[in-house]
Amino acid sequence: MKFTERLKTGKKVYSFEFYPPKTAEDTSKLFNTALELMRLAPDFVSVTNSSSGVAPYRTVALCGVLKAQFGLDVVAHLTCLAHTKAEIAEICGGLRKMDITNILALRGDPHNVVSGARRQDYSYAAQLVADLKREGGFAIGGACYPEKHPEASSLDADIARLKEKVDAGAEYLITQLFFDNAYYFRFLEKAAAAGINVPVLPGLMPLTGYKQMQNFTSLMKVGIPDELRRGIERWDGDKEGMFKFSVDYASAQAEQLLKGGAPGLHLYTLNRSRAAIAILRNVKGEVPE
């Protein structure tokens, strides 16, 4: 089913994000995670890729396995910096053969492009969205940043660029992770004022430790509220204490978002199931053991 059709029902949607494993051991762990998360009956799972020229093909293959063997509806991430228009068309053909009709269209991180692999056909995600729209048959989503993209000069400038993506055909948006809901609701107001009226699914992930928190703040420019920072500092080194605190914080975040009108939740899993199960159990209450 196209993800946009699920959004139109008005029911809250719940989804998980995976990334393609690199080793046989990681593949086994991911498939075990997929089996566990199947019990939660997610509306879809998404599969990431990097900006390299190889990873999108791994993404397509993993999407096919998750759909065929696990019966999961899949959203394939597709970046454009390392691909020509012809290669994008080829990837779309592969997705069609597997009856995968959902794509999250991304520019990709220039820093992750293998040296010499950068192509010149695309510069922005809006250009990829437009090509996918012309391909036809896909429900197309895009990424957005409640605190602004790290490269943007301001949130208003970032939203202006996002408007181009929506005008090109993006039918829904999934946010970068954030830890302060005020950013999400402020973003919705500014986006609506700019004429962006597609559903915006919030992306959440519990922090696992102090080092991870530092990475998010330094690399992704994600703000950390004082309450969260104090909790991470308090429980750092205590694995179970950290897990409970982080899940409780993410669960409270999720509940507030849903009550505030968010269309659902997109959980970044890091290919693990325990936190996602715990959060949905806290939020929904009827998640099976």
Residue in the structure block whose two tokens are 């970068």: 176
102 φ, ψ (degrees, to nearest 5): -120, 130
Q: Which three-class secondary structure state does DSSP give residue 60? A: helix
Catalytic site includes residue 286: no
Residue 235: both structure tokens together: 């429980």
Alpha-helical runs (H) found in 145-225: 155-168, 181-193, 210-219
Q: Report how far apart the first and last C-alpha atoms of the chain are (Å, whole number).
A: 27
Give the active site residue among 17, 36, 164, 240. Answer: 17
Contacts of residue 90, defined as CB under 8 A and 6 or more positions apart, other chains included, come to none
Q: Which three-class secondary structure state does DSSP give residue 35? A: helix
Q: Under a CB-based contact definition with an 8 Å cutoff, are residues 17 and 276 in contact?
A: no
Q: Under a CB-based contact definition with an 8 Å cutoff, are residues 112 and 82 in contact?
A: no
CA torsion 288-76-197-181 (nearest 10°) is 50
Q: Which residues sit opposite 103 in a β-bridge?
A: 76, 140
Residues annotated catalytic, as ranges = 17
